[in-house]
């Protein structure tokens, strides 16, 4: 049963709109000369020691990426009855990937505090980031040529990355709720009218967050490729970039 089909009616046009925005932004990169300067002349921003992505983080990023793609595909198959004869296999794959991405998240969370470099500091959002945000927006709108880089991640990157993790946690919770609805939703059934209605509600939330990931992962991939091609190649293809000292 498809819960809240209005979610799809809103999300699909939003996704198409996001693709159009990406296309327009890419044209902006061409017209502004940024694309030519970077990809044809090779003038990418130097990668500092702070920005370099260590191997364990790259591995966890790969695991996360594979799981997100797999969860999205199997989730869409289950939601829209694609490959219906293989639904049982899709469910098994979906929940296996759910376990893998949960374990990967817990390991990444631990690594952020106890791994090399204490990377949790990279995601802290403070006063400097707030003051930096207008300059970042101007850069992405082609109103400024200089990228206002004050930390490993810019303010909008920090916001989006933190939102990704929060949404992942909520997605995991709703996934467990709709996996065992009679057991986990019995206590809140009275607020929704029945266990079935409660399951439908949380299925709708689950679907909405899925579309959130589809849209924002697409945008994230485009920006990572366009703005950080050397790091993009490092993370996905293990191509080592030239790293400069912080003073540079």
pLDDT digits (tens, 9 = 90+) for 207-222: 999 999 999 999 999 9
Owning domain of residue 62: 54-119
- The mean pLDDT of 96-118, rounded to a whole number, is 93
Residue 89, SS3 per DSSP: helix
pLDDT digits (tens, 9 = 90+) for 57-73: 999 999 999 999 999 99
Among 119, 139, 158, the domain-final residue is 119
Q: Counting beta carbons within 10 angstroms of the beta carbon of residue 185, is it exposed (0 to 12), middle (13 to 18) or buried (19 or more)?
A: buried
Residue 1 pLDDT: 45
Q: Dihedral, CA atoms, 48, 51, 56, 62, nearest 10 degrees?
A: -120
Query: CB of 155 within 8 A of CB of 136?
Result: yes
Q: Examine the domain organization and report whether 154 and 232 are in the same domain.
A: yes
Residue 48 pLDDT: 85
Residue 246 pLDDT: 66
Q: Examine the domain organization and report whether 142 and 212 are in the same domain.
A: yes
What percentage of the chain exceeds 90 in pLDDT? 69
- The mean pLDDT of 144-160, rounded to a whole number, is 83
- The mean pLDDT of 173-183, rounded to a whole number, is 92
Residue 26 lies in a domain: no
Would you say residue 248 has pLDDT above 50? no
Residue 245 pLDDT: 78
Residue 57 pLDDT: 94
Residue 48 lies in a domain: no
Query: CB of 44 within 8 A of CB of 242?
Result: no
Residue 101: pLDDT band (50, 70, 90) is very high
DSSP 8-state symbol, 37: I
pLDDT digits (tens, 9 = 90+) for 134-150: 999 999 999 998 877 77
Q: Examine the domain organization and report whether 98 and 137 are in the same domain.
A: no
Q: Examine the domain organization and report whether 81 and 185 are in the same domain.
A: no
């Amino acid at each position: 049963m498809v819960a809240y089909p209005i979610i799809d009616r809103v999300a699909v046009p939003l996704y198409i709109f996001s693709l159009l925005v990406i296309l327009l932004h890419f044209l902006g990169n061409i017209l502004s000369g940024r694309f030519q300067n970077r990809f044809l002349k090779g003038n990418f921003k130097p990668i500092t020691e702070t920005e370099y992505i260590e191997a364990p983080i790259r591995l966890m990023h790969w695991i996360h990426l594979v799981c997100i793609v797999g969860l999205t595909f199997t989730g869409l198959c289950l939601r829209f009855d694609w490959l219906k004869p293989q639904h049982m296999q899709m469910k098994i794959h979906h929940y296996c990937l759910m376990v893998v991405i949960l374990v990967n998240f817990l390991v990444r969370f631990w690594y952020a505090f106890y791994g090399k470099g204490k990377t949790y500091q990279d995601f802290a959002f403070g006063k400097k980031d707030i003051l930096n945000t207008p300059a970042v927006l101007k850069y992405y709108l082609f109103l400024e040529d200089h990228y206002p880089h004050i930390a490993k991640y810019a303010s909008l990157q920090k916001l989006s990355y933190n939102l990704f993790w929060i949404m992942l946690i909520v997605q995991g919770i709703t996934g467990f709720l709709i996996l065992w609805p009679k057991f986990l939703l019995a206590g809140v059934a009275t607020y929704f009218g029945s266990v079935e209605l409660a399951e439908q509600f949380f299925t709708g939330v689950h679907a909405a967050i899925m579309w959130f990931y589809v849209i924002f992962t697409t945008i994230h991939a485009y920006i990572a490729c366009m703005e950080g091609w050397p790091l993009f190649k490092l993370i996905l293809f293990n191509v080592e970039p030239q790293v400069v000292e912080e003073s540079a």
